[in-house]
Amino acid sequence: MDPKSSSTEISVEFPTIFRIYKDGRVERLKGTETVPPSTDPETGVRSKDIVLSPESGLSARIFLPKLTDPTRKLPLLVFIHGGAFVIESPYSPLYHNHAALLTSEANVVVLSVNYRRAPEHPLPAAYEDSWEALQWAAAHSNRNGPETWLNDYVDFDRVFVGGDSAGATLTHHVVHRAGIHGLSGAKIVGMILFHPFFGNGKPDKLLEVVFPACNGLDDPRVNPGKDPKLREIGCGRVLIFVAEKDFLRDRAWAYYEALKKSGWGGMVEILESEGEDHVFHLFNPSCDKAVGLVKKVVSFINHKPKL
């Protein structure tokens, strides 16, 4: 076979997302643009890039709000980006801007995780990276970790984990894992799922490509509503966002119902954005419904339980 033909012949393609060529080369069709860390002149939010594991290459972008009282400890939001497990990163404009907005509005430190992406690193690599990032952050509770912003400014009794789409899948996994195995040094107060990408018990072409080791359609890593241990989720509050026109809408509602019936003792709330599609808030953050979504996240993070 002509080697030139194999380099241009497509083996697998997901239109608008990525394609794999027969020679193994991967081409991402969007979500490759990046922006550097910065200081926002309007909000005062600062960001920087950090390496969590030189061995695996696991890294993150961390965001710090403008400090009015440097002695006050702030909540931590570990954020896990979406993109079908394949595209986007914490460094893309969409996710940099979203994390900076949440940092400013909620007055929270955000650790945005740069997990290894499929198909070069098939799942469950992203699951393991997300769990490692959460453990890495929690290890700073002794105030002697490698990242000074976590040592100096985070209240480790107020940790949240959130993510959108595929990142919400990973978010559920790490919070559930913390419930089963524990998380030394930190207390996860709440979980935020933006338009989660959960399985629905039907064949999924994307998952077949990015997760060849999946244990079937009801593998709890992709279809957590079918997990007999769902009740062991490791936080007391869950906030789920869905969008009316999102093809994943019904899966999130099914997860919500399963969680309520699981025997888990926490509080779960689900909010649906009428007339909107998947992760609309990333693409149009200034629209009324996106502003309302962020306000709900701010309220969720800064909620103070009645004594």
Q: Any idea which residues carry the catalytic annotation?
A: 165, 246, 278
Q: Which residues contact 190 (CB under 8 A, 6 or more apart)?
A: 160, 235, 236, 237, 238, 239, 300, 301
Q: Which residues contact 11 (CB under 8 A, 6 or more apart)?
A: 20, 21, 22
Token pair for 223: 């279809």
Distance CA 119, CA 87 (A): 10
Sheet hosting strand 26-28, strand order edge to edge? 10-14, 18-21, 26-28
Enter the DSSP assignment of 44: -
DSSP line for 255-307: HHHHHHHTT--SEEEEEEETT--TTHHHH-TTSHHHHHHHHHHHHHHT-----
Token pair for 159: 């940790």
- Which residue has tokens 């909000």? 43
Distance CA 176, CA 230 (A): 7
Number of H helices and E strands in the chain, helices first, is 9, 11
